[in-house]
Chain A
Amino acid sequence: MSPWVRSVRAALGRAYPRLVGSNRDRAWLFYDTVLPLLGSVALVYVYRSLGAPDHLVAYAIMGGAAMAFWMNVLWSMAAQFYWDKMAGNLELYMVVPCGLVPILLGMSLGGAVATLLRAGLIVAAGSLLFGVSLPVRDLGLFLAVFAVALVALYGLGVTFASAFLLWGREAWHTANLFMEPVFLLSGFYFPVRALGFWTAAAASLIPLTLALDALRQLMFGPLHPAFLPVHVELWLLVGLAAAFALAARASLRRMEHLARREGRLSLRF
């Protein structure tokens, strides 16, 4: 079997439990959808209590969908090797002939598609509950931004995964640390331009920052205070996707080597 075929099969094999297994257990679907939705609903009520216009309410709902993707990337990509270490799977991954990259690709593919379903449910439920419409002005560009953002986001997840490979108990806390600060810097619930140009520019290293800003421009037009023009943000996202792909590959090799040398691959606590 050629290495390419083996890699593709390994990736599809790793994507399977994410695509099928995660939907087989209805409780997972419930928690993955309802938890971000509850947070968003709370923030919608904050906007409502302040008499905010409808497009800000839509921001909170979109923030819930973005949160589902970020949590998937953080807990099921970045920290996944930590879980695998705990369950004893990591040693198995290390000895399989395909290597770690196809396994991570499979995780990304399965995670992205499964989370897409959950994010769709969050947006649908949120907009139905609060009667908010989410118009899309340029569907082609909208889909392009969304697709490229997903590639960049999961590229970041793979890069993180290699860093988490070294960590034991601190992996859990580190993942926790990337929650609210990222929601803040990426402008999950408000226009990122409010942070100021340079802070927003630095926060653009997280693909969701540019993606949310571009998608909001395509949905709300002049109502949304844009950070950068949509086309610029799209090209920046393409750059981020490429950079994270390269960084992930290099970082994975380096961290795997370090983890083997320092004997941390099976270090659980």
Chain B
Amino acid sequence: MRTAWRTLRTAFWLGWQVESNWTDPLLFALYQVVRPLGGLLILLFMVRAAAGPAAGPALGFLVVGTAFWPAVVAGMQGMAWAVVGDREHWRTLRYVYTAPVSFRAYLVGRALALVASASAAVAVTLLFGWAVLGVPLRLELGELPYFLCAWATGVTGVLALGLATAAGVLCVSGEAWRMPEAVGAALYLVSGALFPVTVLPEPLRQVASALPVSWWLEALRRVWLPENSPQSFPWASDLQVLATLAVLVAAFAACGLLAFGLSERRARQLGILDRETGF
């Protein structure tokens, strides 16, 4: 356990360096917030084009979804990117893998570094939404435990999704770069990041209901937005949302670990764990 914790910490530091030391801190901070803010402004102009200046509660829904989305992407894609990057780009996967450390803990540490770097984007987007766009965002003291619980459970869920994606990436070579992006794009569509999942057709709504990310975003919105805001699961109480999130995260974590174990074994059997494709 101590080795795993040390591995996680070191991997976190390594991930942070890989992400941030290509430029000076100020430019890095700008880089972290420009994309999410750009995304939010696109949505703002879309809302204005469709509904006029009085966008109403839909804007709050978009602001919270857009604010927290970088954390989803960072956690889920970060783990898969760590595999692909170490294998193809830095060519260090074989050394990391054969080192006497937990490979899973290493990947979790790398992904958490990205989640930490995405936190700035989360904070700035929420602040922009509240101060500039006038969205009635709030975080009451009494709801802080709910928020922290939802945040921690959600990040775990995103890491579980990342582990499942990394499992796929381990056995794919040529298109491994694109797979995390594809999973991210699919989640963006079905998880209610931008609109309530009630808008989706029934089959996609069922998929959304089975994803921890949909429930995570719902839980976060219940904390940050007023009660009359649109909801993805209006029939569920706040506690039901949190409980469903926890159950789904546990299920995805189990599936992610199982998939990763199977995929790792298969990649080792086939001798493709460190196969480079000369991207």
Of all chain B residues, the one with the shortest Cβ separation from A86 is B279
When the two chains form their complex, are residues A183 and B42 in contact, meaning their CB atoms are under 8 A apart?
A: yes
Number of interface residues of B (CB under 8 A): 38
- Known contacts being A50-B58, A52-B50, is A39 close to B185, with CB within 8 Å? yes
A191 within 8 A of B: yes
Of all chain A residues, the one with the shortest Cβ separation from B62 is A46
Q: How far is the CA of A39 from the CA of B51 in the complex (A)?
A: 21
In the complex, what's the smallest C-beta–C-beta distance from B57 to chain A, in angstroms?
11
Contact of A56 among B43, B50, B200 (CB under 8 A): B50
B29 within 8 A of A: no
Q: Which of A175-195 contact B (CB under 8 A)?
A: 176-177, 179-181, 183-184, 187-191, 194-195
Of all chain B residues, the one with the shortest Cβ separation from A35 is B185
At the interface with chain A, which of B146-154, B191-199, B265-273?
B191-199
Contact of B182 among A34, A43, A52 (CB under 8 A): A34
Measured between beta carbons, the chain A residues less than 8 angstroms from B226 are none
A38 within 8 A of B: yes
Q: Is the interface of A mostly helix, strand, loop or mixed?
A: helix
When the two chains form their complex, are residues B42 and A190 in contact, meaning their CB atoms are under 8 A apart?
A: yes
Measured between beta carbons, the chain B residues less than 8 angstroms from A60 are 46
Of all chain A residues, the one with the shortest Cβ separation from B278 is A87
Contact of A45 among B38, B47, B58, B195 (CB under 8 A): B195
Q: How far is the CA of A60 from the CA of B189 in the complex (A)?
A: 14
A2 within 8 A of B: no
Q: Which of A101-129 contact B (CB under 8 A)?
A: none
Interface size class of A (residues with CB under 8 A): 35 or more
- Known contacts being A25-B174, A189-B46, is A45 close to B35, with CB within 8 Å? no
In the complex, what's the smallest C-beta–C-beta distance from A194 to chain B, in angstroms?
5
Q: How far is the CA of A189 from the CA of B194 in the complex (A)?
A: 14
Contact of B194 among A25, A46, A194 (CB under 8 A): A46
Contact of A184 among B41, B62, B188, B194 (CB under 8 A): B41
Measured between beta carbons, the chain A residues less than 8 angstroms from B49 are 52, 56, 59, 190-191, 194
- Known contacts being A43-B46, A86-B279, A194-B49, is A27 close to B175, with CB within 8 Å? yes
Q: How far is the CA of A162 from the CA of B178 in the complex (A)?
A: 25
Of all chain B residues, the one with the shortest Cβ separation from A183 is B42
Q: How far is the CA of A67 from the CA of B36 in the complex (A)?
A: 17
In the complex, what's the smallest C-beta–C-beta distance from A68 to chain B, in angstroms?
13
Measured between beta carbons, the chain B residues less than 8 angstroms from A28 are 175
Measured between beta carbons, the chain A residues less than 8 angstroms from B36 are 180
Contact of A173 among B23, B39, B193 (CB under 8 A): B23
- Known contacts being A27-B174, A35-B181, A86-B279, is A45 close to B199, with CB within 8 Å? yes
- Known contacts being A39-B185, A183-B42, is A47 close to B35, with CB within 8 Å? no
Apart from A38-B185, A183-B38, A183-B42, what are 13 other A-B pairs with CB-CB below 8 Å? A27-B178, A31-B178, A38-B186, A46-B46, A49-B58, A60-B46, A86-B279, A170-B23, A173-B22, A179-B38, A181-B35, A184-B45, A190-B49
B interface residue numbers (CB < 8 A to A): 22-23, 31, 34-36, 38-39, 41-43, 45-51, 58, 62, 89, 174-175, 178, 181-182, 185-186, 188-189, 193-196, 199-200, 278-279
- What are 17 A-B interface contacts by the 8 Å CB criterion? A31-B182, A35-B178, A38-B186, A39-B185, A45-B200, A46-B195, A48-B195, A50-B46, A50-B51, A59-B49, A86-B279, A177-B31, A180-B35, A181-B35, A184-B41, A189-B45, A195-B45
